Amino acid sequence: MSRSHYAGIDVGGTFTKIGLLDQRGRLVAKDQIPSDGFSDKKLFAAHVKDALVRLCRAQRLRWSDIEGIGMGLPGPVDTDRGVVLSLTNIRKWERFPLSASLGRVWGKSVFLDNDANCMALAEARLGAARGACTALCVTLGTGVGAGLIIEGRIYHGPFFLGGEIGHIPIARGPQCACGGAGCLERYVGNSAILRRAQSLMGPKMTLEKASALARRGDPQARRLWQETGEMIGWALSGVVNTVTPQVIVIGGGVAKAGGVLINAIRETIRRHAMKQMKVRVRVKRALLGNDAGVIGAALLVKA
């Protein structure tokens, strides 16, 4: 039997998700394991392989049916050398030849990339930006990540730092951990939105509640997401006029606020983008949800 499936691994701070993709790009099986103790690379390799082998068995697949393994990581990755450049949670992986090392242990080709890039690849190939050759996929969460797809491929840029739209300055604002100041992320990252939500709607407000309230039409909650969307759309307008993507995909937890957020982003882009772009760029909600990271990681194998 020929090698028929791709494995994807999405390494997160708390959980690591794994999944199997068939030749047609369907996620046929998935699971997750805790990320505890992953600074021990041997432990990581063993735990993830065990979990993948279990997934394979449940699908009546053998280890040899896996054509290759892709892995998304929460930091910039030198994809040419298969090396993590910086990783807040798992320090021992930095500058280590992770791809080569895991490849040896697992007996497979292992491809690494940044997790936001993996999500972007998944949405571009199989999700909301399917069919677009140039797309920007934004992930709204604790941070504001993004992956840029140019001519169908992940854009890494010369330093493997491409697409960091979360660090576009939007105001003469506070210092950011990135080294800049006034970054978009400081205004529309989860903690900033939560602060504003609580100042508008009381100290017990959560982002989940604010999202649910907005969907039910609550004016204060709608105002919160409207303003959030305007700030995101404002920053994205500059990207629209520079990179000229066909599609902008909005995903991540915050995107659950729904229509009001997406519409505010869309309208702000319509107000600030060049006329040739405002009629062309489409702003869409992500389609693949929490699976995007694993799917995109698996797609690295054939990217």
Which residues contact its own copies by CB under 8 A?
76, 132-134, 148, 150, 155, 157-159, 161-165, 167-169, 178-182, 234-235, 237-239, 241-246, 271-278, 280
Question: 46 vs 177, which CB is nearer to its own copies?
Answer: 177
Question: 150 vs 207, which CB is nearer to its own copies?
Answer: 150
CB of 49 to its own copies, least distance (A): 32
CB of 37 to its own copies, least distance (A): 28
Compute the distance between CA of residue 241 and CA of residue 255 in angstroms, rounded to an integer.
23
CB of 260 to its own copies, least distance (A): 21
CB of 128 to its own copies, least distance (A): 16
Helix (H, G, I), strand (E, B) or coil at 136: strand
Strand partners, 288: none
Question: 176 vs 207, which CB is nearer to its own copies?
Answer: 176
DSSP state of 36: T
Nearest to 31 by CA among 254, 296, 291: 291
CB of 19 to its own copies, least distance (A): 29
Question: 32 vs 244, which CB is nearer to its own copies?
Answer: 244
- Asked whether 299 and 19 are in contact (CB, 8 A), the reply is no
For the chain, strand residue ranges (E) read 5-11, 15-22, 27-34, 66-73, 77-78, 83-84, 110-114, 135-140, 144-150, 153-154, 247-251, 282-285
Question: 103 vs 238, which CB is nearer to its own copies?
Answer: 238
Question: 149 vs 197, which CB is nearer to its own copies?
Answer: 149
Compute the distance between CA of residue 102 and CA of residue 182 in angstroms, rounded to an integer.
39
Tokens of 37: 């103790």
CB of 259 to its own copies, least distance (A): 24
